[in-house]
Amino acid sequence: MPVSSRLVALIVPFVVIAIFWLMARREAQRSQDPTRKSYFERNGTTLGIVFILLVAFWTLFLVVLPYLYMVVESFHPTLPPPKRGGPEDVLTLAQYKSLVVLPTGGTNVTHMGAFVFSIVASIAVTALNFAICYPLAYYMAQAGSAQKVRLVMLGLIVPYWVNEILRAFSLRLLLASKGLINQALMAIGLTDAPIDFLGNNVGLYVGLSYAYLLIMIFPLYNAIESLDKNQIEAARDLGAPWWRIHWDVVIPYAKPGIASGCTMVFMLCAGSLAAPLFLGGPRTLWFTSVIYNFFFQAFNWPRGAAYSFILLIACIALVMLMLRLFKVSLGETIK
C-alpha cells in the first residue's frame, strides 16, 4: 500500500522541528560562551516543559497541521466517506481545475466571476476605508486636543462592541426597500419607487466598509501619532500647501501604518462571510459564500478546501505585492 499523503502531512512538521533542534544543538556546542544557559536551565524543568507543550499544541495542532491537512485534502477527489483511503483516493488536481473548467467542458464563469469580484470589491472597499479614515486618524493624532481625542476614541470603540452580525442587520434595516433611507428619499420626492440598495450591492459595500472602519483607523492613528509635530510646522513654514504636507510628510512617515491597516482590511473583506450573506444582492456571489456552500450544501469538502487554498494564496500574493509597492516589510506591518 502506498504511503498515505495524510500521514506524510502529519510527519512533516515534526521533521522540520527536529532539523532546527539539531542545528540549535550544534550551534550551542560550537559557541564557547560560559554564561550561556540552556533552555531548561533558564526556565526550570517543569515550567520549560509546560511552555513547550502549550506552544507545541498551539502551533502544531491548531495552526500547522490543520493547514497542511486542508491543503492535502484539496488534492484529493470527492468521495463518499467509506471510500476515503481506498484505491480511488489518489492525488489529483481535479478540484483546482474545477474553478476554471466546468465538468461539461465550458468555462466556470460563476466561480471565477465570484473570485474576481471578491478580490476587486475588497480592494475597492479598502481604498474607500482609507479615504474615510485618514482624515479622522490625522485629526486624532495631530490636530485634536487630548480630551477630545479620548472622547472620539470612546465613540469609535463603543459601536464595535456590537457584533458583526447585528451591525449588518442594522444596515439592512436602514437600506431595505422599506427602510428608513428609502422612506426619506420618497418623502422628499427624490424617487417614486424604493431603490434596491441591497440588490445592487450598495449594501454589501457599505456593510464591508462599516464592519472594518476601526481596523483601518487604529493603525493609521498609531503611525501618525508618533510623527513629530515640528516636521509639519517646518513644512508649513516653508510654504507647503496642505496637500503637499500630507503627500510628502505625513503619508511617507505613516507608511507602515497605512500598509498594516490596508492589509488587515483587505484580508478581512476578502474573507468575510457575514456582510455578503446578509447584505449582498440575491445574485451576488462572494467567494467565501461559494466555499460555504460547498461545505454546507454540497458536502464537497475537498473542493471547498481547494477553493479556500486558492483564496489564501491570492490574498497572500496580493498583500505581498502591496507591501513590495509600499516598500514595507511584513514585520513592520504586524505589531
Interface positions, 220-249, toward another protein (CB under 8 A): none
Q: Answer yes or no whether residue 167 interacts with another protein by CB under 8 A.
A: yes
155 binds another protein (CB under 8 A): yes
What distance in Å separates the CA atoms of residue 12 and residue 167, rounded to the nearest whole number?
Answer: 42
254 vs 303, which CB is nearer to another protein? 303
CA nearest neighbour of 206 among 173, 171, 178, 176 = 171
- Based on the shown chain and the rule CB under 8 A, indicate whether residue 69 belongs to the binding site for another protein: yes
Contacting another protein within 310-329 (CB under 8 A): 311-312, 315-316, 319
Among 8, 15, 63, 120, binds another protein (CB under 8 A): 63
102 sits in the region (left: phi over 0; alpha: psi -120 to 50; else beta) called beta
Long-range pairs for 297-302: beta carbons < 8 A, 24 or more residues apart: 300/78, 301/73, 301/78, 302/73, 302/74, 302/75, 302/76, 302/77, 302/78, 302/95
Count of residues touching another protein (by CB under 8 A): 90
* Angstrom distance (rounded) from CA 117 to CA 288: 11
> Which residues are CB-neighbours of 5 under 8 A, at least 6 positions away?
72, 75, 76, 91
Q: Rounded to the nearest whole angstrom, what is the least distance from the CB of residue 249 to another protein in the complex?
A: 18
Least distance between another protein and beta carbon 213 (Å): 7
What pairs with residue 16 in β-bridges?
Answer: none
Q: Kindly identify the residues of this chain, within the stretch 271-290, that bind another protein according to CB under 8 A.
A: 271-274, 277-278, 288
- Binding span for another protein by CB under 8 A among 41-49, 103-111, 192-200, 231-239: 41-49
Q: Is 46 one of the binding residues for another protein (CB under 8 A)?
A: yes
C-alpha cell at 308: 479556500
Residue 195 found at the interface with another protein (CB under 8 A): no
Which range, of 88-96, 104-112, 149-157, 233-241, touches another protein by CB under 8 A?
149-157
